[in-house]
Amino acid sequence: MLSPSNLNLIRNSWRFILNLFCGLVLLFLILPILIIIPLSFNAEPYFTFTRDMLTFESSAWSLRWYQDILGNPQWLHAIRNSFIIGIASTIPATVLGTLAALGLSRSQMPLRATIMGILLSPMIVPIIISATGMYFFYSRMGLSQTYVGIILSHIALGAPFVVVTVSATLSGFDYNLMRAASSLGSPPLHTFLRVVAPLIAPGVISGALFAFITSFDEIVVVLFMAGFEQRTIPRQMWSGIREQISPTILAVATMLIIFTVSLMLILELLRRRNERMRGIVTS
Domains of the chain listed by start with CATH number = 35-71+246-277 (no CATH), 80-231 (1.10.3720.10)
Own/partner long-range contacts of 196-200 (Cβ < 8 Å, ≥24 apart): 196/102, 199/169, 199/173, 199/277, 200/98, 200/166, 200/169, 200/170, 200/173
Number of residues that make up the chain = 283
Q: Show pLDDT as tens, one digit a residue, over the chain (283 residues).
A: 556 666 677 777 888 899 899 999 988 888 888 888 888 888 887 777 778 787 878 888 888 888 888 888 888 999 999 999 999 999 999 999 998 988 888 777 788 888 888 888 888 888 899 899 999 999 888 888 889 999 999 999 999 999 998 888 887 777 778 788 888 788 878 888 888 888 888 888 888 988 998 998 888 999 888 888 888 988 888 887 776 677 888 888 888 888 888 888 887 787 777 667 655 544 4
pLDDT score at 283: 44
Are the beta carbons of 189 and 231 closer than 8 angstroms?
Answer: no
Backbone torsion region of residue 145, taken as left when φ is above 0, otherwise alpha when ψ lies between -120 and 50, otherwise beta: left
pLDDT score at 278: 58
- Classify residue 140 by burial, with Cβ atoms within 10 Å: 0-12, 13-18, 19+: exposed
pLDDT score at 68: 85
pLDDT score at 150: 92
pLDDT score at 268: 79
pLDDT score at 281: 46
